[in-house]
Amino acid sequence: MSQGVRRAGAGQGAAAAVHLLVTLSFLPSVVEAQVTGVLDDCLCDIDSIDNFNTYKIFPKIKKLQERDYFRYYKVNLKRPCPFWAEDGHCSIKDCHVEPCPEYLKMANNTKELEDCEQANKLGAINSTLSNQSKEAFIDWARYDDSRDHFCELDDERSPAAQYVDLLLNPERYTGYKGTSAWRVWNSIYEENCFKPRSVYRPLNPLAPSRGRFFLCLCLEKRVFYKLISGLHASINLHLCTNYLLEETWGKPSWGPNIKEFKRRFDPVETKGEGPRRLKNLYFLYLIELRALSKVAPYFERSIVDLYTGNAEEDADTKTLLLNIFQDTKSFPMHFDEKSMFAGDKKGAKSLKEEFRLHFKNISRIMDCVGCDKCRLWGKLQTQGLGTALKILFSEKEIQKLPENSPSKGFQLTRQEIVALLNAFGRLSTSIRDLQNFKILLQHSR
């Protein structure tokens, strides 16, 4: 080989290396480039949502979630799975950490045993409550009567239902994974999401190439799928943001995991599906934002108070909540829910009922989650979304609310109110976290 040919080859190799470095340097920004612009099925752009959430919503909703009325959520974590025998990997039945199955120890499977013990430890519920709080909960029981639910409601008077302090049980990585976790999400997508009949089973919720069938769906069915996909994306973002980075001397260190974020959302690693999932998160945010703006008249009545027994704090909490409602009303690009179920009355009524039953079934699947902490946040966010849908489909009843007496046409329980605002708070946090990941990805270049 001549010296000139060797030089040419070396020059081509260097040029290829430079091209590769330039290409790699731009990969992290692909997520940002694709998660932008106007959302489908509504006239709203992502940048407007980002700014609105960052400067108006997030600081206030975070403060609201710290108030006593909203930090305690009553939930039944012991209701059995109605669809299959619970055989989830390291499922947690009680608030304490249970030992791992003996078969793992007998099989001497060290890695699986370590994963199991970590999932048990991280997934356990912190059930610490003060005596003062327990006494207050008895007083709170005088609230709550509702109908037309979109979720399978827990019996709040059931001995199995308990108040959980959400601030002591943040949503984050628990190590819950494998067949059990996959089956829950697969059941939600496969059995409950509206989908064209040309899509055959099994339908993997993370599989690409759904888009070519998607346009065949009517608006209502597209909305339903996007809500579930957006909820899934939001939960995944929380896990990526509060990931167990390391554990030394029994003290865990939590923080954002860029590698995990890219695995779930990078367009290359997800074959283009990641940005679509994140756009569905924004769509879900808009739906719940619209519900909050619609339900404001319910809370603006003097008869409605956010009762905890502390009159001064209760008044401050309601003032903060009404302030948030005013902000939601000021958003200029709301989703128009009137475009849904707008066909002939008989067909629209049938589709609305199908919509409701599908969603109610999804709330029941949350009882099949094998990790207590995951089940807690899954049930809360599902009920929050169900309450938002109940609000959007009850506009006439809300308009007819009496000022100084309870309404038989539309009522929200304490559990629904707490779930609604905390679920929206989770979405607000997800959008804030997504902004942080974009910054981290830029710095990682």
Residues contacting 425, CB < 8 A, separation 6+: 61, 62, 64, 65
User: pLDDT tens for residues 201-234?
Assistant: 444 444 544 444 454 567 778 888 899 999 999 9
Q: Is the pLDDT of residue 128 over 80?
A: no
Name the nearest CA neighbour of 191 among 357, 425, 65, 369.
357
How many whole angstroms separate alpha carbon 94 and alpha carbon 373? 11
Is 301 assigned to a binding site?
no
Name the nearest CA neighbour of 153 among 424, 397, 386.
386
DSSP 366: G
Q: H-type helices in 125-267, by residue range?
A: 131-140, 179-187, 211-214, 219-241, 258-265
How does the average pLDDT of the chain come out, rounded? 77
Give burial (CB, 10 Å; 0-12/13-18/19+) of 31. buried
CB 414 within 8 A of CB 387: no
The winner for highest mean pLDDT among 109-118, 195-204, 299-308 is: 299-308
CB 19 within 8 A of CB 435: no
pLDDT value, residue 278:
95
Catalytic site positions = 371, 374
Q: Is the pLDDT of residue 27 over 90?
A: no
Provide the β-strand partners of residue 387.
Answer: none
Which residue reads 């984050």 in tokens?
Answer: 172
For the chain, what is the largest distance between any 2 Cα atoms, rounded to a whole number of angstroms? 96
Q: Per-domain residue ranges for the chain? A: 48-116+151-196+212-444
Q: Report the 3 state secondary structure along 306-338.
A: CCCCCHHHHHHHHHHHHHHHHHHHHCCCCCCHH
How is residue 119 written in tokens? 């999932």
Is 147 assigned to a binding site?
no
How many whole angstroms separate alpha carbon 122 and alpha carbon 429? 21
- The whole-angstrom distance between residue 337's C-alpha and the CA centroid of its chain comes to 20
Is residue 164 helix, strand or coil?
strand
Is 264 assigned to a binding site?
yes
- Cα-based distances in Å from 56 to 63, 95, 298, 368, 424: 12, 36, 22, 36, 14
Bridge-based pairing state of the strands 161-165 and 72-76: antiparallel
Name the nearest CA neighbour of 422 among 167, 207, 245.
167
pLDDT value, residue 68:
93
Q: Helices 414-444 and 58-65: crossing angle, nearest 10°?
A: 130
How many whole angstroms separate alpha carbon 75 and alpha carbon 375? 10
How many whole angstroms separate alpha carbon 101 and alpha carbon 117? 10
Angle at the Cα of 74 from the Cα atoms of 153 and 383, rounded to 5 degrees: 40
Q: Is the pLDDT of residue 312 over 90?
A: yes
How many whole angstroms separate alpha carbon 194 and alpha carbon 210? 12
For the chain, give the number of residues. Answer: 445
Q: Helices 110-123 and 372-392: crossing angle, nearest 10°?
A: 50
Place 354 in a pLDDT band, splitting at 50, 70 and 90.
Answer: confident
User: pLDDT tens for residues 44-88?
Assistant: 889 999 999 999 999 999 999 999 999 999 889 888 898 887 654
Give burial (CB, 10 Å; 0-12/13-18/19+) of 255. exposed
Is residue 248 helix, strand or coil?
strand
pLDDT value, residue 149:
54
pLDDT value, residue 152:
58
Is 172 assigned to a binding site?
yes
Is 174 assigned to a binding site?
yes
Q: Is the peptide bond before 196 cis (omega within 30 degrees of 0)?
A: no
